């Protein structure tokens, strides 16, 4: 796994909700990644 | 965290306002008929790493992405480990392809190494592509070019093999994307 000094910031852009949710869950489990935004084709707030 | 309306402009807006290193994207997200919009994002953010996440890719699409310098491509059927391998590779500036895509890449490389320059058509073959796109049949093309029916068949087979297409509609799409024929001139 990557262990940089600074976490890697990631954007996920995918219209499939299940895909974005799974990816987000996988990445947020890892301290080395920060999910900056998820773009799914709909406007919502988390 | 916010979700945004879909589109290239929204991606650019997020990228402009943050220090994002990696964009994981399904090309269909920005309704691509070609990958030119990915190129535009790349041009605006040269340091940004791309991971293309897709259900499937044709040989031509894979080649097109490679020509844009996008060499981290993962199928949506990939497991968690593959996703992380792709992420690790992209951050380190290395390439990563799902196994199924590697097979396609090997096939492309074999064809190139065996002297078949994929996508490179002779002037005669280009002319035949144009005539096919005008709706001419094999017989009509033979008559127009004063060559035999079988010669046209051979040209067609060579064109299809070189371009990796399997139907006339796929050929026409390839020709339009490559700028060989004008979309406006092509009427169904």
- Tens of pLDDT, residue by residue over B82-107, are 999 999 999 999 999 998 888 888 87
Structure confidence by residue, pLDDT tens digits, B154-186: 999 989 988 888 889 888 888 887 777 765 555
Q: How many of the other CB atoms lie within 10 Å of CB of A7?
A: 16
User: Is A10 in contact with B6 (Cβ distance < 8 A)?
Assistant: no
pLDDT at residue number B143: 92
* Chain mean pLDDT for chain B: 81
Residues sharing a CB contact under 8 Å with residue B157, sequence separation 6 or more, in sequence order: none
Identity of the residue in B3, B19, B26 whose CB atom sits nearest the CB atom of A38:
B3
Report the distance separating Cα A46 and Cα B57, nearest Å: 32
Give me the mean pLDDT over the B31-56 stretch.
79
Produce one character per residue of B160-173: b if its CB has 16 or more CB atoms within 10 Å, e if not: bebbbbeeeeebbb
CB contact at 8 A, B171 and B132: yes
Work out whether the CA dihedral B21, B25, B27, B32 comes out positive or negative: negative
Mark yes or no for CB contact A39/B91 under 8 Å. Answer: no
Q: How far apart are CA B125 and CA B24, in angstroms?
A: 38
- Chain B environment of A38 (Cβ under 8 Å): 1, 3
Q: CB-CB: which of A4, A15, A37 is closest to B1? A: A37
pLDDT of residue B3: 43
With tokens 């490559």, the residue in question is B178
Q: Is the pLDDT of residue B34 over 80?
A: no
CA dist B179 → B66, B129, B182 (Å): 19, 12, 6
Average pLDDT over residues A9-38: 87
* pLDDT tens track for B102-151: 888 887 777 666 655 546 788 888 889 989 988 899 999 999 988 889 89
The whole-angstrom distance between residue B101's C-alpha and the CA centroid of its chain comes to: 13
pTM: 0.64
Residues of B in contact with A12 (CB under 8 A): 24-25
> Quick one: pLDDT at residue A41?
67
A-B Cβ pairs (cutoff 8 Å, strict): 101
Q: Among all chains, which residue has been given the structure tokens 């000094």?
A: A5
pLDDT above 80 for B31: no
């Amino acid at each position: 796994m990557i262990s940089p000094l600074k976490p890697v910031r990631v954007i996920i852009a995918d219209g499939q909700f299940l895909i974005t949710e799974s990816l987000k869950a996988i990445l947020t489990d890892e301290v080395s990644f920060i999910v900056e935004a998820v773009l799914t084709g709909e406007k919502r707030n988390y | 965290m916010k979700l945004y309306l879909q589109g290239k402009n929204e991606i650019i807006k997020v990228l402009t306002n943050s220090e994002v290193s990696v964009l994981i994207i399904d090309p269909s997200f920005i309704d691509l008929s070609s990958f030119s919009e990915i190129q535009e994002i790349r041009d605006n953010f040269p340091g940004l790493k791309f991971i293309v996440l897709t259900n499937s890719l044709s040989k031509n699409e894979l080649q097109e992405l490679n020509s844009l310098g996008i060499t981290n491509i993962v199928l949506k059927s990939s497991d968690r480990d593959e996703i992380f391998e792709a992420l690790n590779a992209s951050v380190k500036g290395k390439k990563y392809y799902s196994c199924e895509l590697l097979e396609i890449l090997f096939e492309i490389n074999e064809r190139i190494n065996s002297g078949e320059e994929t996508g490179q058509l002779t002037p005669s073959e280009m002319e035949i592509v144009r005539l096919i796109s005008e709706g001419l049949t094999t017989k009509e093309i033979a008559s127009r070019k004063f060559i035999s029916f079988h010669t046209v068949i051979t040209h067609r087979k060579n064109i299809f093999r070189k371009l990796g297409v399997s139907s006339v509609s796929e050929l026409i799409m390839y020709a339009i994307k490559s700028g060989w024929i004008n979309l406006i001139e092509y009427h169904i």
